[in-house]
Every structure is written in structure tokens, then in C-alpha cells.
Structure 1
């Protein structure tokens, strides 16, 4: 009984020492290989807060997250999208106010700018049309603002991935001679 307990204790200690010794050597070898690979490929160190910062900056000021990511060419696109949405909102608001004022003037018995050309129902339909377009313009503007934030976040995430020219994804066709059919697929290739 004592021999078995000594044997198992000795075996346990031997395995423990062997495992810890390998872990230390593996850790140092892994750190050395990571450092050499990072220097070789000139990678930026991984920053887990970069996507959150980019999204926060874009939420504060549209386009600032794209500037943080170094994608300066996206800033005019973000402002053009927001500008177009705001332009259509303002234009539809002016037209809505124009038809609403004409309808109010007609109800009060005063002359309006559409006298004789548009009926009362036409004025009501025009108000509803421009009100709906104004709301759609507001939704589109909010969507573009949110898309700006999402773009900055996703772009910051994607900058931290390994994009190497040796890694490729290509379509592939394979002719099966036995069945007489062509099989289609994708192949992921890595060149050393």
C-alpha cells in the first residue's frame, strides 16, 4: 500500500514538474515567435478599445471615427449623406408649411397662392405627402448617422486582422470524370 502511494506521488510530482517546465519554455518560444512575426510584418499591437473609441468619436462628431481609423476619404461621404438627408428634410418642411398655410388661409376665408388651381382635398393630400417625406428624410438622416458610427466601429475591428498577400480565397471548379459533372467551390490558400 505504501509503495503504491509513493509511486503515485512520485509520478504526480514528475508530471507536474515536466508540465511546468514545458509551459515556461513554450511561453518564451511563443513570445519570441510572436515578437519576430510582429516585427517582420510590421503589425500594430492589438488594441481592444480601438473599435469603441472609433464609434464614440463618430457619435460625437460624424467623420471623426473615420479620421481616428485613418480612413480620411470616408469623411466627405459621411457628410454628403448627412447633408443630402438634411437638405430634403428642410425642403419638405418648407413645402409642408406652404401648403398648410394655404389651407389655413382658405379655411379663414382669405385668398391663398393656390386659389382656383388646387382644391381643399388637394391641399390636404399635399400636406400629408410632404409630412410623410419629411419623416422619411429624418429617418434616412438618422440611418446615415448610425451607419457612420457602425462603419467606424467595423473598420477599427477589421484593421486589427491579418491581411496578408499570401492568404487568398479563390473560386474553384472541379470536373468529376466519374459522374461527368462539374463541382463548384471556394478554396482558401496560404502560400509559405
Structure 2
């Protein structure tokens, strides 16, 4: 799911950066007038907001004067960066512990230690830490309170979580860039008093009033819908 979302954001960024058809909210003269009315320079550009957001996290939001978004940008990136650090730290710890367990198991059986794990004894403290955190006995590590297969399974889980955190960071950063780009476009939209919202009930109790002989009520409500009671929403511009 994360990989799919990252792929979608990558395609969107490529289309934007590739110079695809620009979506102008208003003609240039109208856009410039709206930006000037809102206190922005007529040269305020979504493309400039995008490049700023890509160069420095939060710069695009600053460029759009959406200062309240900047703490969320940095908080999200900081949280994901901490998750990557912690998951990688645990991954390395359990990888070292698994190497020690394998080397100790081979030595217990009198087998030759492969060159790839010739330094397995250097990870004794890491193995002891893992056993202690699991509530095991650390007095006699030669008996291997935790087997290598157990440690490798936990190691792989931490590696997967670390990789997902990296993908999540890329996705979050891409979303902040898209947010700056879209927000810069929306600055040129001007919503006036001609926008109206009309909400009317459909179906349900008002339908029972139809056909009661009260002519004054007939035609006051729209025809009942077969789907039961609900609301009809109409937006007028």
C-alpha cells in the first residue's frame, strides 16, 4: 500500500516538473488581481512554491504564507526520522545477536566458523542485551537462551519496519511538496457571495404528507425517492 502511494506521488511530481499542461485557476489578469487583493505578488507562482518545497521542507508553505503548516511538516519528518533511527538501531542489535548465536551454536557443535561471521565473539554484549530485554538468563550465554532462528525473525521484522519508515518519509515529503503546489494554485480562486448551498430533505416523513388531501403541501416537496429518507444538496455558483 505504501509503495503504491509513493508511486502515485512520483508520477504526479514527474508530470508537474516535466512541464505538463499548466492548470490556471483564472486568466492571467484576473489571477494577478486576485493575488494582489490577497496581498501576494502578481508573480506568485505554483511552480516556485513547488521548487521551494522540494529544496527545503516547509519553504513552499512559507512562500504561500501558510505558516501554521510548517510545524506539522517538521514534526512529521522528525517523527519519521526517529522511527527510521530506532528501527535501524534495533535491526543492527538483533543482527549482531543472531551472528553471535550462530557462531556459538557452531562452536558448541565443533564445526568450522565461516569467515563471514569470524568476528562473532565481538557481539557477545549485544546478545546479552537482547537476552536481558527478553527476560532470559544471561549468566551462561553458551547455552543460547535465544536461538538464532528466533533472532533472525525479529531482525527481519525490524528491517521491514525500517524500510517502511523510509518509504513513509518519502511519501510524506512528496505530499508536502504537492500541498505547496496545490495551495499556490488555490490562492488564485476567489469565492464570492454568488456561491449558495441549498439543502432539502428527500424521502422519509415528508413523503407521507403527499396524498393526504392537503393541497397546500402538494408540490412543496420533491417526489419521494425509493432509497428512503435523505438530503438533497445543490451548490449554485
Judge same fold: TM > 0.5, yes or no. yes
Secondary structure of the corresponding residue to residue 233 of structure 2: strand
Distance (whole Å) between structure 1 residues aligned to residue 97 and residue 38 of structure 2: 64
Secondary structure of the corresponding residue to residue 181 of structure 1: coil
Residue by residue over 1:90-127, the C-alpha shift from the partner in whole angstroms, topping out at 9 and shown as x without a partner, is 00000000001111122233443134442211101011
Determine if the alignment matches structure 1 residue 82 to structure 2 residue 77.
yes
Given that 1:46 and 1:160 are in contact with CA atoms closer than 8 Å, whether structure 2 keeps it comes out as no
Structure exhibiting the larger radius of gyration computed from Cα positions: 1
Unaligned runs of 5+ in 1: 1-33
Residue by residue over 1:23-49, the C-alpha shift from the partner in whole angstroms, topping out at 9 and shown as x without a partner, is xxxxxxxxxxx88xx59x935689586
Query: Among 184, 201, 206, which residue is 1:173 paired with?
Result: 201
Query: Among 167, 186, 189, which residue is 2:233 paired with?
Result: 186
Distance (whole Å) between structure 2 residues aligned to residue 87 and residue 189 of structure 1: 48
Distance 1:48 1:181, change over 3 A: farther
TM-score between the two structures when normalised by the length of structure 2: 0.56
Residue by residue over 1:125-162, the C-alpha shift from the partner in whole angstroms, topping out at 9 and shown as x without a partner, is 01110000000100111111001001001111111101
Distance (whole Å) between structure 1 residues aligned to residue 147 and residue 77 of structure 2: 36
Distance 1:65 1:118, change over 3 A: same
Aligned to 2:148: 120
User: Where do 1:11-160 residues align within 5 Å?
Assistant: 42=37, 50-109=45-104, 110=121, 111=124, 112-113=127-128, 114=131, 115=141, 116-160=144-188
Distance 1:46 1:166, change over 3 A: farther
Deviation at 1:181, TM superposition (A): 1.5
Given that 1:93 and 1:134 are in contact with CA atoms closer than 8 Å, whether structure 2 keeps it comes out as yes
Distance (whole Å) between structure 2 residues aligned to residue 142 and residue 59 of structure 1: 11
Given that 2:101 and 2:147 are in contact with CA atoms closer than 8 Å, whether structure 1 keeps it comes out as no
Aligned residues: 154
Secondary structure of the corresponding residue to residue 163 of structure 1: coil
Root mean square deviation, CA, Å: 3.0
Larger strand proportion, structure 1 or 2?
Answer: 1
Secondary structure of the corresponding residue to residue 108 of structure 1: helix
Distance 1:157 1:106, change over 3 A: same
Secondary structure of the corresponding residue to residue 173 of structure 1: strand
Post-superposition, which runs of at least 4 consecutive aligned residues in structure 1 deviate over 6 A? none
TM-score between the two structures when normalised by the length of structure 1: 0.68
Aligned to 1:163: 191
